[in-house]
Amino acid sequence: MRTEIATLGEFGLIDRLTEGIKLENESSKYGVGDDAAVLSYPSEKQILVTTDLLMEGVHFDLTYVPLKHLGYKSAVVNFSDIYAMNGTPRQITVSLGVSKRFSVEDMDELYAGIRLACQQYNVDIVGGDTTSSLTGLTISITCIGDADKDKVVYRNGAKETDLICVSGDLGGAYMGLQLLEREKSVLKGEKDVQPDFTGKEYLLERQLKPEARKDIIEKLAAANIIPTSMMDVSDGLSSELMHICKQSNAGCRVYEEHIPIDYQTAVMAEEFNMNLTTCAMNGGEDYELLFTVPIAEHEKVSQMEGIRLIGHITKPELGCALVTRDGQEFELKAQGWNPLKEDK
């Protein structure tokens, strides 16, 4: 079944997509339906705002990304940025640019993913806009959240001797992308490999349905730990470490042997003949949390499940480096995935 968007019109489409939305957060006073949403935050809170723009062909490829997954991911990556400030996401607005290629049913799918993510993370959709685009699909989501005034964590607070921690494992989302790209070239007849995703489900999930680390923020709060700096790993560990060090006026040493990598990621890197450490350091889109804590918290963080100590902060003069298993030091380079830097 395919219904042209024109048959509903812009307002009809918005009505359909936002039908039945119930507001869950106390700070959401009024959502979709007027000229603006109304939010009300208590004065002891700091309000966090983040926004993300995704363009078809640049940030996502619909030949292998289902629309529902795309909706889910585009919401979750925004939540991840709010958690990375040690906050809690509360509301989003969703703006879409949609070409004629897409039907009302396509938008239902996309929105189903966005709404599922909101349900999962207890976030309210409070507004947005839909407009026609000449080519492709554009998704812009803005997320609003809050944090206790004295608990917001920035990128610039890392101090010499602080421990560097990361949640989960790294490189999986990148390997998932390689796998999907290979599948795509097989479908196009460019490559002659039988696509087989058996045993690689975790990698696909990391790429197609990432989660934001709400649980880590909760664990840290429960353990009474406020990181000195934090950010989420969207462009790759190397690049994020350099952001933290630059903004904190510090250097760092991270140890190759401590970088958390899943077994499936390692198998895949070998299959693709790629350097595993490079994949984990530069892969990106893992949406794990990278943070620093004072050395006094060593015992507490080292016992926390799902968190790995990977190195420490140094004086700025020492620069940022990866220490390999045989003790060699390599200066970190940001090879992060940044479409603006690529010349294609």
Q: In angstroms, give the least distance from the CB of 88 to Mg ion.
A: 16
CA-nearest of 16, 209, 3 to 106 is: 3
Q: Which of 71, 236 has the CB closer to Mg ion?
A: 236
Q: In angstroms, give the least distance from the CB of 84 to Mg ion.
A: 5
Quote the tokens at residue 19. 């039908």
Q: Which one of 81-89, 113-121, 161-169, 214-222 is the stretch in contact with Mg ion (CB under 5 A)? A: 81-89
Q: In angstroms, give the least distance from the CB of 3 to Mg ion.
A: 37
Q: In angstroms, give the least distance from the CB of 112 to Mg ion.
A: 25
How many chain residues touch Mg ion (CB under 5 A)?
2
Query: Distance between CA atoms of 89 and 83, rounded to whole angstroms?
Result: 7
Q: Which one of 35-43, 68-76, 78-86, 106-114 is the stretch in contact with Mg ion (CB under 5 A)? A: 78-86
The residue type at 217? I
Q: Which of 56, 240 has the CB closer to Mg ion?
A: 240
Three state DSSP letters for 326-342: CCCEEECCCCCCCCCCC
Q: In angstroms, give the least distance from the CB of 172 to Mg ion.
A: 18
Q: Which of 169, 232 has the CB closer to Mg ion?
A: 232
DSSP assignment letter at 189: T
Q: Which of 98, 165 has the CB closer to Mg ion?
A: 165
Task: Using DSSP, state whether 286 is helix, strand or coil.
Answer: coil
Q: Which of 81, 146 has the CB closer to Mg ion?
A: 81
Residue 162 near residue 255 (C-beta atoms within 8 A): no
Q: Mark residues 150-189: x for contact with Mg ion by CB under 5 A, - for none.
A: ----------------------------------------
CA-nearest of 46, 52, 113 to 79 is: 52
> Looking only at residues 220 through 259 of this chain, which bind Mg ion when binding is defined by CB under 5 A?
232
What percentage of the chain's residues is helix, strand, coil (to nearest 5)?
Answer: 35, 25, 40
Q: Which of 32, 220 has the CB closer to Mg ion?
A: 220
Strand segments, DSSP code E, in 163-236 are: 163-167, 229-232
Please provide the DSSP assignment of 276-296 as one string. Answer: HHHHHHH------EEEEE-GG
Q: In angstroms, give the least distance from the CB of 243 to Mg ion.
A: 9
Establish if 81 lies at the interface with Mg ion (CB under 5 A): yes
Q: In angstroms, give the least distance from the CB of 195 to Mg ion.
A: 32
Task: Using DSSP, state whether 26 is helix, strand or coil.
Answer: coil
User: How far is the CA of 189 from the CAs of 182, 194, 275, in angstroms?
Assistant: 11, 11, 27
Residues that bind Mg ion (CB under 5 A): 81, 232
